Chain A
Amino acid sequence: MPPPLDAIDAPPAAAPGDLTEPLIAADTWADSDVEAAGIPVRDVPFVTVGGGLGSFAMADLLRLAGLGVEQIAVLSDIRRPDETYRYLAENSQIPESERLRSDAGSVMDNIWAFPSYAMREAAGERSLAPVWQVLTEPLLAEFFTPRSGQVYRSVEREALRIGWEDMRVIGHVRMVRRRLGGGYFTVMTPPAGTAATRRVAYRSSHVHLAVGYPGLRFLADLQEYRSTYGDYQRVVNAYEPHEHVYQEAQRRPCTVLVRGSGIVASRVFQRLIDDRDQSGAQTTIIHLFRNYVDGPQGEGATFRRPGGHGFAYQAFNYPKAAWGGQLRNRLAGLEGQERADLLDQMGGTNTAPRRQWRQQLLRGEREGFYEQRVGTVTSVAPSPDGSAVVTSVTSEDGQTMELSAQFIIDSTGLEARLTDHRLMADLLEHGGAGTNPKGRLDVDPTFEVRGTRSESGRMYASGSITLGGYYAGVDSFLGLQYAALQIADDLAHLGFCRHIGPGRSIAQWWRWARNRAP
């Protein structure tokens, strides 16, 4: 996560316009309650909380659906919509020149996916290679995936076009409460010194929540190691800054133990091996698996995911049809545990079957700098001389082994619980929201948060906080756009914005193509 704005949320001495005990305790607020607390109220029809790519997709769609910049407030503690994404991507070893795990048609700045990222790359670089790749993917070539830099540039252009800065308000959102008479109050803490009061309340008809990951979570044994020994240098999470690991490994021969077998682990391996190849590092990699995939997964010829050598392979987080084909339909028809089970079968830990990665690991095994181990960790502790971390592992056949490494990179990509996010915890306690079979926010197929309706007001959510709902790929570019489209359609049905039919769609695309405001 980017640096949290804790500073602006620290309680200053007796600031005016702060939350009061009665307000904090009440599930529904009357206008007079807020007024009595001295919290200034700003009226705006639609509020989106988060300000990352989820809010961006939402605001973009609503602008296409006819809302003006003055009708949308983006409440955010980041300035650019791609800021958090970029932070996580760069930590997990995807610089601007590297390709994401996202297809040509997941175009963040263009809901129509026309022209796709592949076509644009072809035009920009005057090369037919990207066109040939999408034409032959995934039969003769691997799936085309855009470079992260291309995505960032496209988002920047679209943000400018739709007037992002005019909608975005910097601050820290503390809570959303229902309003007596309909709609919601979203309470924000502006940065210190920028407002006369400690809090500002946004009164809106509808609210959209896109706050991203509730937070990072470490494997329990690694978390215990970090808190017991206060060592945050040798045991790191792939999503937090850990460049020092690669720097140290280039200075002297190191052993790095990597936990996890998903796409993040693949990226870490690529970086470590690229450094060996290009910078002369002499790193040895120990890859520790808890679950080892030794062959294709799934029953029957019609539901079998390729796998082997420890990894489950698929091009994207889910099978492609989960975003818009038969698997989307199938999942949408399931409830409860059945839905959670199908999500697990389609998702779970997996990585992309990239030839480069497979060749690197095979070469590593041959040359002895990459080795795989399987087992359950029983303890993690510093070595007696303090120069390494020793992981004690029990293998399936009951044997114990001790793996010594200078660094451990937790690449399991575990996410924190929903309640670790204060806004979410408040919503569950006071807003009427509930959780789904995956423990995330329970949303209906239109991405409305169940149980939070406030008369004619609607509260929606999208992104990773809704994983476990009726749509699998919520935590992806296309998933954010899909959610935004469902929400915009629902709002159009309520008469809040215009329906994007063929006429409006073509007209708006044409405006996009000429880089004119929606």
Chain B
Amino acid sequence: MTPTYLGRVQTRLFLLLVVAVPWTALIVPLLPGPTGPTYRVAYAAVFCVGLFGIAWEALYHGLQQFRWDKDWPILLGLLVGINEGIAVYLALDAGFLAVGPINTTAFVIHFATVWTLLWLTANGPMRVVFIRWRFRGGRLV
């Protein structure tokens, strides 16, 4: 993938909306802990991935400038889920959005599955739906 900054942000927000939101609705009932509070934490996490992502993507885009190909290897797209997951957890745990106590196991399962799904969708099915997307650095509009 050879994203531009605008492409990165647009793709992230779009995929959160069409992939992460419905996925969260499906998976939360299967996670440990009471469903109501888990939903609150899970959707707060999805929201944070979008919000913090605007800054994360700027950082990634900056790092990308040091690559001759100005690309973003597929593996990095998966691995940055680790730092992003930790950041979201720490923020929510510190009281951001006041979601209450976090079930760590539920958080990890939810976050890891969401991130993997986003990553898989971005590396294949997106191209089938949006034929020009990959030529525009991930920009949708």
| A138-B73 contact, Cβ under 8 Å, with A114-B124, A302-B65, A323-B135 | yes
Nearest B residue to A298, CB-CB = B68
| A113-B127 contact, Cβ under 8 Å, with A325-B137, A328-B137 | yes
A129 near B: Cβ within 8 Å? no
Q: How far is the CA of A114 from the CA of B3 in the complex (A)?
A: 18
B129 near A: Cβ within 8 Å? yes
Q: Mark A314-339, 1 if CB is under 8 A from B, else 0.
A: 11100111011111110000000000
Instruction: Indicate if the CB atoms of B134 and A105 lie closer than 8 Å.
Output: yes
What residues on A are CB-neighbors of B69 within 8 Å? 138, 314-316, 319-321
Instruction: Indicate if the CB atoms of B131 and A324 lie closer than 8 Å.
Output: no
Nearest A residue to B126, CB-CB = A114
| A135-B71 contact, Cβ under 8 Å, with A323-B2, A324-B134, A505-B131 | no
Residue from A105, A113, A305, A325 in contact with B4 in the complex, judged by beta carbons closer than 8 Å? A325
| A139-B75 contact, Cβ under 8 Å, with A105-B134, A114-B128, A324-B136 | yes
What residues on A are CB-neighbors of B66 within 8 Å? 301-302
What residues on B are CB-neighbors of A45 within 8 Å? none
| A306-B129 contact, Cβ under 8 Å, with A324-B134, A325-B4 | no
Q: Mark B1-45, 1 if CB is under 8 A from A, else 0.
A: 011100100000000000000000000000000000000000000
Nearest A residue to B79, CB-CB = A139
Q: How far is the CA of A114 from the CA of B71 in the complex (A)?
A: 19
What residues on A are CB-neighbors of B96 within 8 Å? none
Q: How far is the CA of A402 from the CA of B135 in the complex (A)?
A: 49
Nearest B residue to A504, CB-CB = B131
A257 near B: Cβ within 8 Å? no
What is the predominant secondary structure among interface residues of chain A facing chain B?
loop
B38 to chain A, nearest CB (A): 31
What residues on A are CB-neighbors of B65 within 8 Å? 302
B52 near A: Cβ within 8 Å? no
What residues on A are CB-neighbors of B135 within 8 Å? 323-324, 328, 482, 485
Chain B 46-100 residues near chain A, CB threshold 8 A: 65-66, 68-71, 73-76
B117 to chain A, nearest CB (A): 16
| A505-B76 contact, Cβ under 8 Å, with A321-B71, A327-B70, A328-B137 | no
A157 near B: Cβ within 8 Å? no
| A135-B75 contact, Cβ under 8 Å, with A485-B131, A505-B131 | yes
| A136-B127 contact, Cβ under 8 Å, with A320-B70, A325-B3, A325-B70 | no
15 contacts across the A-B interface (CB closer than 8 A): A105-B134, A114-B124, A116-B124, A301-B66, A319-B70, A320-B2, A320-B71, A321-B137, A325-B4, A325-B70, A325-B71, A489-B132, A505-B129, A505-B131, A509-B128
Give the interface of A toward B (CB within 8 A): 105, 111-116, 134-140, 301-306, 314-316, 319-321, 323-329, 482, 485, 489, 500, 502, 505-506, 509
